[in-house]
Structure 1
Amino acid sequence: MIKVSPLTQKKIRHFKEIKRGYWSFVALSIMLILSLFAELLINSKALVVKYDGSYYFPVVSDVRLGSEFGQESSSEADYRVLQKAFEAEGGDNFVILPLVPWNPYEQDFSGDFPPTAPSAENKHYLGTDVIGRDILARLVYGFRTAMGFALLTMAISYAIGTAVGCAMGFWGGKFDLFVQRLIEIWSMVPFLYVIMILVSIVQPTFALFVAINVLFTWMGMTWYMRTMTYKEAAREYVMAARALGASTGRILFNHILPNTMVMIVTLAPFTIAANITALTALDYLGLGLMPPTPSWGELLQQGKSNLDSPWIVASVVTSIVLVLVMVTFIGEAIRAAFDPKKFTRYV
């Protein structure tokens, strides 16, 4: 069981008292958890199918052909059509569909020529994009992609930056000067040019963008951790630990690093917001993830090019602004709660 110090408990209580930050954290956490199970909420595959006394769970199984459920088609079953057919028959057979019975890659040409306006009848609650894909489905799956990118990039870049920064601040001397020069040289490499060159050479993938973003973002945390470690290493408790014969690893991990965690926790929400913005911008410019990957930037580009279909740009802009505002509120609340120098009272 994790033991939390009384001081940390006090900081957590202070964080909860900052209502807009705390409830933004709760709301964003719920949104992230729901997006992880998006296939159960937004999917063209049925959750449950009862046919001739047998139960099937297509959402967690492989492709099931329509012929298995009495449809004439030999391709994958159309569960929306199957549901209507079973309801018309009035028997014991039934189909339970997700709340939004469309997946983010599926095109709907059953009605008007896309893009189509929001319609509860067709279960396109936010309408469709220019090629008939459900906007709500692409927003939710795009949110999962953006948050996954932001969190993974932050975790890796913070791990590298913390390790390098602690080493620079603790040992100092020639090692510190050498790494400083390396960082200064590397920071001069233009990020956008590297993206453009790599995208023209290799196929853009999620892992590739995480790797590139990590290569250009770990340096920021390095400077912070170098400064914090340099300051902490000169304190009396570190000198006492050295006098008692504590190893370098013990001093760094048991003494210095816990006292610099405030910096990491405080900066994390703003880093997440920056990473989400970076991926969205790259997708908007056509330098991001390959289609048909659900992406907020790609939807934003569609909205800009189709202003006569305002539901596209309105949906994606609202989603981006909402998430970034919530992340910012969380960051402000954490900074106010965990920074001992701040005594601002929020209501």
Structure 2
Amino acid sequence: MATDSDSDAGSAKYETGSGGHEAGGYEAESRERSRAAYFEAAVTDDREAFVVPAKGSKARLSPINQRRLVNFKANRRGYWSLWIFLVLFVMAMLAEFLTNDRPILVSYNGELLAPVFVDYPEEKFGGFLAVTDYRDPFIQEEISANGWMLWPPVRYSYRSVNNDIPVPAPAPPSWTMDKEKRCSRYPLGAEDPNCVMGNWNWLGTDDQGRDVLARLVYGFRISVLFGLALTLASSVIGIAAGAVQGYYGGWTDLLFQRFIEIWTAVPTLYLILIVSSFLVPGFWTLFTILLAFSWVALVGVVRAEFLRGRNLEYISAARALGVSNPVIMWRHLLPNAMVATLTFMPFILNGSISTLTALDFLGFGLPPGSASLGELLAQGKNNLQAPWLGITGFMVISLMLSLLIFIGEAVRDAFDPRKSLG
């Protein structure tokens, strides 16, 4: 016969078991919510990043990227600046086919040659064992008698010296002279077959007799390629450093910040002067020195994005599920940080090109003889009697930097959350 004490003990046991069951159910439910939050965030990120096309259909942008593209096109100034910049950049990349002291194609004795790609010895055309000078009248007569040549529109490279200019260098643009004066240094004068528009100096020559137009085209290419390489390399380092700082925080963040404060206090120009005193300035030497200091530009932006995002719910859920820190940083935090980073990229490119131009202007940039916009500005300063040097260099630099600024403004509008998510 059950007593009251047995009944109470049974009730207590039941309540304890019920309470344990409820606690276990709560923990399981919490884990399920964390798992659901993590996978929901992951799926959402995937949907925002791209849209997987159905079988047989074309790939398309995600809705948010479509809105960003529409916002970018809405900024007409930036949109057309991008197209103009791309056209100029493609033309500069094809500079050897537009302005060169070598023919694009040569047909000689039934053989088709491509001097723009291959260095042919002069003995191939009846001369000596040396690099062929296709501007030499003897070589031109020999090829014309046994074939033909297809020249670029401008028959000068950035290092070609025009020895047929009728006035001392720097010579004014050829179109400012009459035909008799322009052709006075050729053997047959105005009737000489080489006194053609392809041999004109459309923007004049510099103080060494080199064609200004050719040096502008090649200088534009070097400036953009140098700026792009420096921007990409510094961005990779800056994003990595900012990500580590923002995600781990604490002493890691503090030590990095103190190091950056000390590192940015080092005067870059003086360091370049010191290096130039015992090393010949070159592309990679200059690139390495500038890269050592330019990577800090993006650290603050990326650090702030990682500090803001590391405490979000789906990040906490990912940690609870055992997702590794590198995966969390790469997959979930970096895409959010890249939105802010991309808006800075055109302006960083602008600054990289300006830095190279300034160093070339001061004489501490690329080696002497290189096609450089800054060196052309320096020639304009030293030859005030030849205004075409400074004017053309200034106009090209101003156009290039203005286009990049307009593109940067359009990118900033495209990634503006108020416009992209509204």
Q: Displacement, 1:157?
A: 0.9
Equivalent in the alignment of 2:116: 59
Equivalent in the alignment of 2:34: none
Q: Displacement, 1:329?
A: 0.2
Q: Distance in 2 between matches of 1:76 and 1:178?
A: 57
Equivalent in the alignment of 2:310: 233
Equivalent in the alignment of 2:92: 35
Equivalent in the alignment of 1:217: 294
| Deviations 1:57-105, CA, capped at 9 Å, x for gaps | 111112331x4334x5664333244686379x6x662111111111111
Equivalent in the alignment of 2:151: 97
Q: Displacement, 1:225?
A: 0.8
The yes-or-no answer on 1:140 pairing with 2:140 is no
Distance of aligned partners of 1:140 and 1:242 in 2 relative to their CA distance in 1, 3 Å threshold: same
Identity over the aligned pairs, expressed in percent? 40
The yes-or-no answer on 1:196 pairing with 2:251 is no
SS at match of 2:217: helix
Q: Distance in 1 between matches of 2:220 and 2:139?
A: 29
2:287 maps to a residue whose letter is V
Q: Distance in 2 between matches of 1:216 and 1:93?
A: 55
Say which is worse superposed, 132-141 or 114-123, in terms of deviation: 114-123
Equivalent in the alignment of 2:414: 337
Unaligned runs of 5+ in 2: 1-49, 52-60, 176-196
Q: Distance in 1 between matches of 2:153 and 2:139?
A: 14
Q: 1:276 aligns with which of 319, 332, 353?
A: 353
Q: Distance in 2 between matches of 1:110 and 1:73?
A: 23
Distance of aligned partners of 1:288 and 1:64 in 2 relative to their CA distance in 1, 3 Å threshold: same
Q: Distance in 1 between matches of 2:275 and 2:142?
A: 51
Q: Does the Cα contact within 8 Å between 1:79 and 1:95 map onto a contact in 2?
A: no
The yes-or-no answer on 1:76 pairing with 2:131 is yes
2:282 maps to a residue whose letter is T
Equivalent in the alignment of 1:187: 264
Q: TM-score, normalised by structure 1?
A: 0.92
Q: Distance in 1 between matches of 2:139 and 2:77?
A: 43
Q: Distance in 1 between matches of 2:323 and 2:74?
A: 39
Runs of 4+ in 1 over 4 A off after TM superposition: 72-75
Distance of aligned partners of 1:52 and 1:321 in 2 relative to their CA distance in 1, 3 Å threshold: same
| Deviations 1:98-135, CA, capped at 9 Å, x for gaps | 11111111111212221111125432111110000111
Q: Distance in 2 between matches of 1:28 and 1:311?
A: 23
Q: Does the Cα contact within 8 Å between 1:266 and 1:334 map onto a contact in 2?
A: yes
Q: Does the Cα contact within 8 Å between 1:83 and 1:95 map onto a contact in 2?
A: no
Equivalent in the alignment of 2:163: 109
Q: 1:5 aligns with which of 54, 62, 66?
A: 62
Aligned-residue RMSD, C-alpha: 1.9
Q: Distance in 2 between matches of 1:307 and 1:261?
A: 46
Q: Displacement, 1:299?
A: 0.3
Q: Distance in 2 between matches of 1:82 and 1:160?
A: 55
2:86 maps to a residue whose letter is S
Structure ID, larger Rg: 2
Q: TM-score, normalised by structure 2?
A: 0.76
| Deviations 1:251-307, CA, capped at 9 Å, x for gaps | 111110001111111000000110111000000001111111111110000011112
Q: Distance in 2 between matches of 1:54 and 1:337?
A: 54
| Deviations 1:209-229, CA, capped at 9 Å, x for gaps | 111111111112111111111
Q: Does the Cα contact within 8 Å between 2:107 and 2:113 map onto a contact in 1?
A: yes
Q: Does the Cα contact within 8 Å between 2:108 and 2:148 map onto a contact in 1?
A: yes
Equivalent in the alignment of 2:331: 254
Q: Distance in 1 between matches of 2:356 and 2:290?
A: 9
Q: Does the Cα contact within 8 Å between 1:45 and 1:97 map onto a contact in 2?
A: yes
The yes-or-no answer on 1:287 pairing with 2:364 is yes
Q: Does the Cα contact within 8 Å between 2:172 and 2:204 map onto a contact in 1?
A: yes
Q: Distance in 2 between matches of 1:342 and 1:287?
A: 44
Q: Distance in 1 between matches of 2:388 and 2:287?
A: 30
2:113 maps to a residue whose letter is Y
Equivalent in the alignment of 2:232: 155
1:195 maps to a residue whose letter is I
Instruction: For 1:13-52, list aligned pairs within 5 A.
Output: 13-52=70-109
Say which is worse superposed, 34-43 or 134-143, in terms of deviation: 34-43
Q: Distance in 2 between matches of 1:284 and 1:39?
A: 25
2:115 maps to a residue whose letter is P
SS at match of 1:110: coil
Unaligned runs of 5+ in 1: none
